[in-house]
Amino acid sequence: MGLGISKTTMKVVTPYIIEARSERNARMSIEAKFEASMTQITELMQEFAELRQQITQSQLLHRSPDTAASQAHCRSGEPSSIREDSATTPSMEQICQLRDIRGRIIASGRMVSDNTGIPPECIRVVIDDINVRTTELFNDDRTFEDIQLGEIVVWPKFLMRI
């Protein structure tokens, strides 16, 4: 063991050595579980992205030519909520439900036919009813609490139900 080590020193130090080994093994186990969890999360995110892409492609295939030009883009720099102006009220189309990523109905409204200036995976909706006010607006720092009924918001099509 080397110079200066006695039986008494070994008796005193041994419990600490055992505890240190136990702590090291526990830490390594937690790190391994964390790595496995991160791998699972990465795989789930990839699956989600693939499903989202399939849904978008499916919607593009089922879209009629006249509505294809009027679909909204969610990632534009434009704010996602615009007040409806009575002088320039766009024509309304179908009633729809806005959902969150879990599938809960957040709000309902009417799709706006004028969707110029925003990309195709989103659409403008006039809000008629709000169920979950704490949900954040898409591509905006505000929540549904911050808007009033009749306002127009931009919402992803894959999170809508017609």
pLDDT value at residue 35:
93
Residue-level pLDDT at 23: 94
Q: How far apart are CA 122 and CA 78, in angstroms?
A: 12
DSSP structure string for 100-152? -TT--EEEEEEEES--TTS-TTEEEEEEEEES-TTSBPTTSS-BGGGS-TT-E
Q: How far is CA 47 from CA 42, 60, 116, in A?
A: 9, 20, 31
Q: Which residue has the higher pLDDT, 75 or 59?
A: 59
> pTM of the full predicted structure?
0.40
Residue 75 banded pLDDT, cuts 50, 70, 90:
very low
10 to each of 5, 17, 24, how far by Cα in Å?
A: 7, 10, 20
Closest CA to 161 of 82, 84, 80, 107: 107
**What are the pLDDT digits (tens) for 54-72?**
887 776 666 544 444 434 3
Q: What is the pLDDT of residue 36?
A: 93
Q: What is the pLDDT of residue 1?
A: 56
